Amino acid sequence: MQTSSIHGMWSSRLAFILAATGSAVGLGNIWRFPYITSENGGGAFVLIYLLCILAVGLPIMFSEIVIGRRGRMSPINSIRELSDDAKATRAWMGLGFLGVIAGFIILSFYSVVAGWTLHYGFAYLKELVGMGAPITDPGETFENLLASAGELTFWHGLFMLMTVGVVAFGVEKGLERAVTILMPLLFVLLLILLGYGMNTGSFQEAVGFLFRPDWSQVSGPMIVTAMGQAFFTLSLGMCAIMTYGAYLPSDVNIPKVGTTVAISDTVVALIAGLAIFPIVISFGIDPGSGGAGLIFTSLPLAFSEMPFGIAYGMAFFLLLSVAAWTSAISLMEPATAYLVEATDLSRKAAALCVAAFAWMLGLATVFSFNIWSEVSIGGKSIMDALDYVAADVMLPIGGLLTALFAGWVLSKKITREELDEKMPDWAFNAWLWLTRIVTPALILVVLASLLGIL
Ligand code: PFF
């Protein structure tokens, strides 16, 4: 059994928790969760999403960390080794390749949206130092940004450079340092925004929208979206958490750290929702109107009224960029680790290749808002189509394969050793049968509804 990885190791249990939470908490919680909740009618969607976190997300979170730590390499090679050891087919490596492809697609549009947050952060900074005009009509400001391919490309490029800058320096020096300082700060800002939301007078209504289920809204596509969001927000299904698991010291208890990460991520999403929807409602925006611009068009309205709103707006969007940054790092890491193992490239060169490719792919998202805005793939814009294919289709398929691999290919001896040797039988068996049967079955049912079979 390998006890360390050639790519480096987390220095402690806390370092892993911060890094994995840094991966999980990002635009998925603060940008994507509110806007797709809004598009899917609120309460019922949120409850199904929470159910998916519990019944699908948690068992797969454990599985990914187990596979990663046992293999100690990039997902593709960890899976190859573990398949060989178990005398199973190497076709399982397909799971690793699927993850790498999903990672490229997600990173490509993720970086564009992170570019929006950078743009907003700097716009507030300029306003603060008296060099920029205030955002008076947030809707128009957002539209103008999307209309400018040049600006979008610039911010997308800057964000990609920031990400490659960290990944190039490797696990201890790069990733760990970035997450330890900045994640707690974002949480504090969210709590302040929550305090503001509670005082808007629309808090009750927002709570109702988020948690009072209207079951008539439930449909196949809505469940697909809820499950996709559970995967996306927990960074599961594309071997990112598996990659981080490879750098986890052997004595760390996987169920404990996995649960901590899942709970932290869920709490952040719910707080983000509770902070954002009161603002949306109190400014007369229909909470069901949705759209990827939701936070960019609603929050500036609040910032323009709050005391110190400009400074706050700046801090909020810059810290959101940081949250996106720590997630993007984990989107880039699996492919980079694989290139380092499979080629003669140094870590720096490998990370640069991954970033360059993802940046180019991201141009399709950039253009989907302006010069290619007419292009529609199955009724969706290019960005929505990329997001849909990666998050709602590829991640669940990746999750399904991960669960089956951990549950059926790895021996019970191995999984038990990795999870926690002292775990009571009932707890181990609960994980095992969830992972073997229940979770895969749930994913299959949802995927079947996607294909119109159910
Ligand atoms: N979990 C991240 C978020 O919620 O913003 C996005 C993400 C990161 C998805 C890493 C997938 C991944 F592997």
The CB of 112 under 6 Å from ligand 1? The reply is no
Query: Which residue is closest in CA terms to ligand 1's atom 10?
Result: 235
Are 42 and 286 within 8 A, CB to CB?
no
pLDDT of residue 174: 63
230 CA from centroid of ligand 1 (Å): 10
Tell me the pLDDT tens digit for each residue of 168-196.
Answer: 887 676 667 767 777 788 888 889 989 99
Bridge partners of 377, per DSSP, are 380
Instruction: Decide: 35 in ligand 1 pocket, CB within 6 A.
Output: no
In this predicted structure, what is the pLDDT of residue 410? Answer: 98
What is the pTM for the complete model shown?
Answer: 0.95
What's the gap in Å between 307 CA and the centre of ligand 1?
Answer: 33
Q: CA of 212: how far to CAs of 11, 29, 42, 414, 427, in Å?
A: 43, 20, 8, 43, 32
Asked whether 27 lines ligand 1 (CB < 6 A), one says yes
CA angle 105, 9, 2 (to 5 degrees): 100
Predicted confidence (pLDDT) per residue in 386-414, tens digit: 999 999 999 999 999 999 999 999 999 99
Helix segments in 129-200, DSSP class H: 138-147, 149-169, 177-198
Ligand 1 pocket residue status of 235, Cβ below 6 Å: yes
Å from CA of 55 to ligand 1 middle: 19
Report the Cα 375 to chain-centroid distance in Å.
Answer: 26
* Cα separation, 246 vs 78, whole angstroms: 9
Give the separation between CA 267 and CA 276, rounded to whole angstroms.
Answer: 14
- Supply the mean pLDDT for the chain: 93
Residue 454: what pLDDT? Answer: 61
Residue 10 pLDDT grade (very low, low, confident, very high; cuts 50, 70, 90): confident
Structure tokens at 246: 């490879």
> What is the Cα–Cα distance from 118 to 328, expressed in whole angstroms?
14
* Tokens found for residue 79: 């899976």
Nearest CA to ligand 1 atom 11: 235
Give CA–CA dist 450/237, Å, rounded.
17
- Whole-number Å distance, alpha carbon 236 to ligand 1 midpoint, is 8
Q: Cβ(392)–Cβ(230) under 8 Å?
A: no
What is the spatial distance between Cα 93 and Cα 82, in angstroms, rounded to a whole number? 10
CB 29 near ligand 1, within 6 Å? yes
Q: Find the DSSP H helices in 234-308.
A: 240-245, 254-282, 294-303
Asked if the 13-450 domain carries CATH number 2.40.10, the reply is: no
Ligand 1 midpoint to CA 145 (Å): 24
Residue 325 confidence (pLDDT): 92
CB distance 240 to ligand 1 below 6 Å = yes
The token duo for 288 is 């069901």
SS3 202: coil
Token digits of residue 351: 């990370």
238 lines ligand 1 (CB under 6 A): yes
Q: Say if residue 451's pLDDT is above 80.
A: no
In short, whether 108's Cβ falls inside 6 Å of ligand 1 is no
Distance 202 CA to ligand 1 centre (A): 30
What is the Cα–Cα distance from 202 to 197, expressed in whole angstroms?
Answer: 8
Atom of ligand 1 nearest to the CA of 103: 13
- As separate numbers, helices (DSSP H) first and strands (DSSP E) second, the chain gives 22, 0
User: Which tens digit of pLDDT belongs to each residue from 41-63?
Assistant: 999 999 999 999 999 999 999 99
Paired tokens of 59: 């068992």
- 333 CA from centroid of ligand 1 (Å): 12
**From ligand 1's centre to the CA of 239, what distance in Å?**
11
Parse the chain into domains and list their residue ranges.
13-450
Residue to mutate (ligand 1; options 37, 235, 266, 268; most atoms within 8 A of CB) = 235
User: Ligand 1: which residue has its CA nearest to atom 7?
Assistant: 235
- Report DSSP state, residue 286: -
Residue-by-residue DSSP string for 344-364 = S--HHHHHHHHHHHHHHHHHH
State if residue 391 touches ligand 1 by the CB under 6 angstroms criterion.
Answer: no
* Atom in ligand 1 nearest the alpha carbon of residue 330: 10
22 Cα to the center of ligand 1, angstroms: 9
